[in-house]
Structure 1
Amino acid sequence: MKRDNLRFLLIGTLGSLLLQLLAGQFGVLGMLLSFLVPVPLAYVAMRRGMLIGCGSALLACGGMQMLGGLSAMFAFAAQFALPAMIVAGLLRQGVPWDRVLLYGTLGLVSLASVTLLIYSQQSGVSLPSMVDQYLQGEVTSALKLADQGNLNAEQAESFRSAIQQMGTFLKGTFPAWIALVTAIMLGLQVVFLGRLARGEYRIPGAPLSGWKAPEILIWPLILAGFGVVFGEGAVRLVALNGLVLLLPIYFLQGLAVVSFFFGRKEIPSFIRGFGYLLIAVLNPLPIIVTGIGVFDMWADFRKPRQKKSD
């Protein structure tokens, strides 16, 4: 038993650190890898209990301290170790996976907000100014790509214009994007924990193919849509943040409809995985799937249909 615990401690610690190191080496792909950094820690907690999971998380934080110093350790603890323990802890308590995403996102965003507020007061820089500085730095880095790329004058100007518009949009919807990115990271943990379970533990809650968003959410979505189209100033800004938060929920419901039909047609797992990947990255499939999720509220695509008799 002790040897198994040691093995899992090493799996969680080394797996998480390796993913973190790889994430820093591969640009955009590295950003995607960073979403998976908490998975080994959460897996250990699910397999061997929270005590071993927390031990693995502490060892990984210690490893980051040796590799990058105290700032790297605290960043790793807040971004990866804590979310991993939250997900595993709630799942082990029998909390359904969708509520794990909700509770985890609310908790982590609240903690981050309080931390940033305290830091802004101590540094003398307001929170909006901190956000502006961060986004301006990202915009500047992106604009350098236009100067370094093989773009003609017209293409470079179009690229710069798009980046500037994106920066303005992100500035207004930054709170919603922080919540969304947090939810995505927690959701990926749940997905991979489900794939790695192999009967050793279970993920509480409905399977994806049977999941539905609460019906009441359709009204905030409709109001947010009207706010974006007809609103101005603060009203439109609030509506944009609402859409950023609500549309991914209906994308998930659309994905549930797709999963249902994949299952009914007995599509092999590897083809399903490829299909989900295409849905996530290939335009306009995300928009189509989101639309399916919205209209599923009324059409109920998964409802058994009675065959007409001749």
Structure 2
Amino acid sequence: MPLSITHPVFIRETLTGIIFCLLIYGVVFAFPLLGVFVLLFLPLPVLFYRLKIGRNSGLLIAGVSFFILVLMAKGVALDTLYFGLLLATGMVLGECLERHMSIQKTMGLASLIGAGVVFTALMVYTIGQERTLSALMTDYMNQSVSIARQLYPEIGMDQDMIQTLISSMMIVMPSMFMISFMTTLWLNILIIKKLLKLKGITIKSIEHLNLYKAPEMLVWAVIGCATALMIPSDPVKIFGINCLIVLMLVYFFQGIAVVSFFFQQKNTPMALKGFCYFLIAVQVYVLILVIGLGFFDNWIDFRKLSASRK
């Protein structure tokens, strides 16, 4: 039975969750470069206390933390809205995990909700600013690059190079957002699994993440997106390349699951596993290899999942 909002344990745990969110804010604002990585874990306090104490605690942590953020930022901007989305994501993940949804459904539903919220928020924001979305995002990119150059002046880039970079980023910005958001989902699910395990709690839907497999129909989506790149139409090509980038992340998750599966089967030492994961993170060729491993797992079935199901 959920605790009453006046119960001392409820108050203590909820305040602890809010403090964790504020600490993440502090790191993001004080150390912008480090903050990019720390921000990935903003949904975690909401998710953890949502599962531990209940829905009311998660809602209070997300709501109060967002209200404090608005006060700190002295208004609502694109960055503030993204922080709010991450806080709400903790609640969405908590609801999905409590209902024991499969990892595929959890990731899919949370991603669709996130994309829908961002699209709606951007439309409302652009109408309020009386500007086009393209102009708004271009200004945002220029501002971000300007801040980065001020913080790290050793980064030598002339104006032409900056404009080329911004133009390229504008093309793939939707997929870059989805990659960032889906990676955030995956990391928070991995960490909450470890935290709950320390508490002696097991959620069956995320117990065996190394058995993850993308829906087989996505293979046709990859083929369709690759075909779209050959069509002589810029909007179709942009749509195709953005979808293809997101699908590559999905198969990266499957490839990592295959790698993790064999690490577990062979009882690989922690040091060797850490080195291999580090190599995947920093070497683009190894990263592509893992994506290929996930994609071809649909036919080769490296983990023999089909046989085990039968």
**TM-score, normalization by structure 2:** 0.84
Structure 2: which 5+ runs fail to align? none
Q: Confirm whether residue 24 of structure 1 aligns to residue 29 of structure 2.
A: yes
Root mean square deviation, CA, Å: 2.9
Q: Are residues 203 and 18 of structure 1, via their aligned partners in 2, closer, same or farther at CA, if it must alter by over 3 Å?
A: farther
Is the 8 Å Cα contact of residues 47 and 200 (structure 1) preserved in structure 2?
A: no
Aligned to 1:170: 169
Is the 8 Å Cα contact of residues 47 and 201 (structure 1) preserved in structure 2?
A: no
Question: Partners in 2 of 1:125 and 1:281 — Cα distance?
Answer: 39
Structure 1 residue 172: Cα displacement: 1.3
Letter in 2 for 1:180: I
Q: Confirm whether residue 105 of structure 1 aligns to residue 111 of structure 2.
A: yes
Question: Partners in 2 of 1:76 and 1:176 — Cα distance?
Answer: 16
Structure 1 residue 282: Cα displacement: 2.8
Structure 1 residue 126: Cα displacement: 1.4
Aligned to 1:294: 295
Letter in 2 for 1:184: T
Q: Are residues 140 and 6 of structure 1, via their aligned partners in 2, closer, same or farther at CA, if it must alter by over 3 Å?
A: closer
Structure 1 residue 20: Cα displacement: 1.7
Question: Partners in 1 of 2:67 and 2:243 — Cα distance?
Answer: 39
User: 1:231-250 alignment to 2 at 5 Å?
Assistant: 231-250=232-251
Structure 1 residue 47: Cα displacement: 1.0
Structure 1: which 5+ runs fail to align? none
Question: Partners in 1 of 2:182 and 2:97 — Cα distance?
Answer: 15
Aligned to 1:224: 225
1:30-50 deviation per Cα after TM superposition (whole angstroms, max 9, x unaligned) = 101011112112101111111
Q: Confirm whether residue 6 of structure 1 aligns to residue 5 of structure 2.
A: no
The more displaced of 167-176 and 30-39 is 167-176
Question: Partners in 2 of 1:214 and 1:136 — Cα distance?
Answer: 38
Question: Partners in 2 of 1:289 and 1:194 — Cα distance?
Answer: 23
What number of residue pairs does the alignment pair up?
298
Question: Partners in 2 of 1:86 and 1:213 — Cα distance?
Answer: 21
Q: Confirm whether residue 116 of structure 1 aligns to residue 128 of structure 2.
A: no
User: 1:135-154 alignment to 2 at 5 Å?
Assistant: 135-141=141-147, 148-149=153-154
Letter in 2 for 1:75: L
**TM-score, normalization by structure 1:** 0.84
Q: Confirm whether residue 82 of structure 1 aligns to residue 91 of structure 2.
A: no
Aligned to 1:191: 190
1:97-153 deviation per Cα after TM superposition (whole angstroms, max 9, x unaligned) = 33222111211221221122122223221122212222233344556689x3286xx
The more displaced of 76-85 and 283-292 is 76-85
1:179-238 deviation per Cα after TM superposition (whole angstroms, max 9, x unaligned) = 222222222221111111122352624622211111111122123224335644222212
Q: Are residues 229 and 128 of structure 1, via their aligned partners in 2, closer, same or farther at CA, if it must alter by over 3 Å?
A: same
Q: Please, which of 36, 42, 55 is the counterpart of residue 60 of structure 2?
A: 55
Is the 8 Å Cα contact of residues 280 and 286 (structure 1) preserved in structure 2?
A: yes
Q: Confirm whether residue 46 of structure 1 aligns to residue 47 of structure 2.
A: no
Q: Confirm whether residue 130 of structure 1 aligns to residue 130 of structure 2.
A: no
SS in structure 1 at match of 2:89: helix
